[in-house]
Amino acid sequence: MERILFGDNQFFGVNHSSDEKSRAQAIQFKEDATILKTLDYAIDEGVNTFMCTTHDRISAICDAIRSNTIKYHNFKIYPCLPYAHKYANAVTELGLLGTLKQYVPGNFFGSLFRGGVAIVSKDYIAMMKLLVDAEMKMFKGIPTPVIFLQNVITDLLLGLGMKDVIKAYHQYIISEYNAEPGYITMNMPKLLDFLNAAGIENPIICTSINVDGFRMSGGKEAYEKVLRERELRVIAMQVLSGGAKKPKEAISYVCGLPNIKSILFGASSKANIRETVSIIRDYDLDDENVIMEEYNHIKIY
């Protein structure tokens, strides 16, 4: 994993500290070309991994990436499945069955409804795999070395204690996509226990880590303890706690923690991208551990 990853919230009007800003960003990124231009700013700064949802508009971005193999030869995407609002809105509009009928591909569901009577299949795992395939379709031909489960699903499965479903997802991503499964969560310490109990060791976990303790469920101290003592690969997100913090102070806190492999951030302007990247790189240059790790990383590949 690269040290710095670029996120997509700003492109789709997601802003955790300001509804108003989020609507302004939705206007700013109306055109796909504006999104691509912003990705270019990130690439110019040496950030070659884009971590994104499966929002409908990402499909057009993927087309552009596929059509310019020279420019994007180093470019990778970490998809985050699923784009939950799409399903949440559909459930509100169509109901649960209606949503599954709309989104589970093929006639998987067609065969379940005969003569108006639902013949319920018990093969939920097969359904999950079909949904993963449907979501992954848009990335075909683009390297996707890590595939994430979105926090709303990860945390739902965690709360419901569905170890077998998580395990099935984990194995499917490895076997079908030859990729590493990753997990986005707002409950990192609890999730790590849960994954370990499901037999998943040293997982890739993307989670909120910031100096404010914002969205660090169970408390900042619990997170710091896990980072010091346990085996996991962490991607820190919301390091600026939703954009509200002074970047220098925020990043020095995150970079000073052990076990943070990568930092995920999103920004809308060239200046902000440049500033955030350079603060992280400056901090890392002062930190021997990270340099050693990056050196090891280079050696492996």
Partner 1 sequence: MIRVALIGAGKMGISHLSILGAHPQVEVVGVADNAHLVTDFLEKYAQYRCFADYNKMIEVTKPDAVVVAVPTKLHSLFVWNLLKNGIHVFVEKPFCLDVDEGLGLIEMARTRNLVNQVGYHNKFIGTFTEAKKIIDTGLIGKIQHFTADMNGPVFIRSKQQNWRSKEDEGGGCLLDYAAHSIDLINYLVAPIDKVHGSMLKQYYNANVEDGVYALLETKNHISGVLNVNWSDETYRKMATTITIIGTKGKIIVDTTELKLYLKETPHHLKYSKGWNLIQINELSESVDYYLRGEEYSAQLDYFIKAVNGDVPNNINNFESANQTDRVIDLIRNFKTN
Binding site for partner 1 (CB under 8 A): 12-20, 22-23, 26, 85, 88-89, 91-98, 118, 120, 122, 124, 152, 155-156, 158-162, 164-165, 186-187, 190, 212-219, 241-242, 244
> What is the spatial distance between Cα 49 and Cα 180, in angstroms, rounded to a whole number?
15
> What is the spatial distance between Cα 142 and Cα 161, in angstroms, rounded to a whole number?
33
Smallest separation (angstroms) from partner 1 to the CB of 296: 34
Rounded to an integer, what is the distance from CA 262 to the centroid of its chain? 12
Smallest separation (angstroms) from partner 1 to the CB of 265: 15
Nearer to partner 1, 88 or 285 (CB): 88
Smallest separation (angstroms) from partner 1 to the CB of 95: 5
DSSP 186: S
Nearer to partner 1, 143 or 218 (CB): 218
The residues with which 147 forms a beta bridge, in sequence order, are 181
Nearer to partner 1, 187 or 276 (CB): 187
Angstrom CA distances, 62 to 18, 32, 57, 69, stand at 28, 11, 9, 11
Angstrom CA distances, 242 to 6, 14, 133, 287, stand at 14, 10, 31, 26
Smallest separation (angstroms) from partner 1 to the CB of 99: 10
Angstrom CA distances, 173 to 78, 102, 180, stand at 12, 23, 7
Nearer to partner 1, 177 or 194 (CB): 194
> What is the spatial distance between Cα 180 and Cα 158, in angstroms, rounded to a whole number?
19
Angstrom CA distances, 128 to 108, 117, 176, stand at 12, 22, 13
Nearer to partner 1, 38 or 208 (CB): 208
Smallest separation (angstroms) from partner 1 to the CB of 185: 9
Nearer to partner 1, 124 or 248 (CB): 124
Smallest separation (angstroms) from partner 1 to the CB of 55: 10
DSSP 142: S
